[in-house]
């Protein structure tokens, strides 16, 4: 990894935004707690604010140097909070509003991946108002098994692997519980991997092994049976292709800050990008802190580095 920005000579006044009203608010609160604890230990003045309890428009930002965004899901990752903070003139961690919005929509990001030749499973965008027979026809032409997932949602909420036409209606009900748009996606049988980036630096690759059918919500946050590997049986060229695919996905979307790319490696050793997470989890089960630790980067250093990088960009931005 390249050198991180120098440690600030004076402590920063940091607001950690966590909680919110999305389906992932509980995880967000845990992420916020971890971030707040780590940055406080680094000597900073940290306040945690839950935007579901505090009106950000009237909040006193005068003493805030920078915001650390630990909001997962809708409002946090979809560009809404980013646009609000930009309007208020408050610097924040991570991707800007347009990039966040793009990455949060699986269909929109897939279109960008296709344009930039980043491998991603084929898909069809569906809506809850679509005729059931039309959706069944798309599923039939795509072939089973397939994956049904909300277009804009995180933490694998509402995701179902559908093995037969009989399982489709229930999967659609689950999907549309979280979003009015969804996608049918070709199911890729293979191993699960994650590539994490801090700006342009790549953290150590992780292979995920879970007894669950896939890396679902329980496997992500609740199970201790999930295993995370940093040593691999695959040849070096395959490992490099996974990393290259992950970096390519981030470049296609124009991400910044801490980002995690979820990838499947099929039996032909071909990597496929599932999605890019612009505000990945920061809990003790989360992947990015594990990857950072493997690189010798303390969690507090990781969080601080992202904020300093953001502040450096803010101060070097050309004046209009």
Which residues does the annotation mark as catalytic?
24, 155, 221, 260, 262, 275, 277, 281
d(CA 33, CA 291): 19
Contact (Cβ atoms closer than 8 angstroms) between residue 274 and residue 262: yes
Please choose, from the candidates 18, 3, 32, 22, the residue with its C-alpha nearest in 3D space to the C-alpha of residue 303. 32
SS3 241: helix
d(CA 40, CA 50): 18
d(CA 29, CA 301): 20
Helix and strand numbers, DSSP H then E, in the chain? 10, 13
Q: What is the CA radius of gyration of the chain?
A: 20
Could you say which DSSP state residue 59 is in?
S
């Amino acid at each position: 990894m390249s050198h991180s920005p120098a440690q600030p000579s004076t402590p920063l006044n940091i607001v950690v935004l966590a909680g919110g009203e999305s389906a992932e608010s509980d995880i967000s609160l845990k992420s916020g707690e971890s971030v707040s604890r780590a940055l406080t230990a680094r000597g900073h003045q940290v306040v945690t604010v839950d935007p579901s309890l505090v009106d950000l428009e009237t909040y006193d930002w005068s003493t805030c140097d920078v915001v650390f965004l630990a909001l997962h899901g809708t409002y946090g990752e979809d560009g809404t909070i980013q646009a609000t903070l930009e309007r208020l003139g408050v610097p924040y961690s991570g991707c800007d509003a347009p990039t966040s919005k793009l990455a949060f929509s699986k269909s929109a990001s897939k279109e960008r991946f296709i344009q930039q030749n980043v491998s991603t499973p084929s898909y069809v965008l569906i809506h809850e108002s679509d005729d059931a027979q039309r959706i069944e026809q798309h599923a039939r032409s795509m072939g089973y098994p397939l994956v049904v997932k909300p277009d804009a949602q995180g933490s694998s909420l509402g995701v179902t692997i559908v093995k037969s036409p009989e399982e489709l209606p229930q999967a659609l009900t689950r999907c549309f519980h979280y979003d009015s748009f969804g996608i049918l996606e070709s199911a890729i049988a293979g191993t699960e991997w994650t590539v994490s980036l801090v700006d342009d630096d790549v953290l150590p690759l992780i292979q995920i092994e879970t007894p669950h059918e896939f890396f679902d919500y329980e496997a992500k946050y609740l199970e201790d049976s999930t295993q995370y590997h940093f040593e691999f049986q695959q040849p070096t060229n395959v490992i490099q292709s996974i990393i290259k695919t992950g970096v390519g996905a981030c470049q296609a979307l124009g991400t910044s800050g801490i980002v995690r790319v979820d990838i499947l490696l099929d039996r032909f050793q071909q990597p496929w990008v599932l999605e890019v997470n612009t505000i990945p989890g920061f809990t003790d089960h989360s992947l990015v802190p594990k990857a950072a630790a493997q690189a010798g980067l303390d969690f507090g250093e990781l969080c601080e580095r992202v904020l300093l990088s953001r502040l450096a960009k803010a101060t070097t931005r050309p004046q209009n």
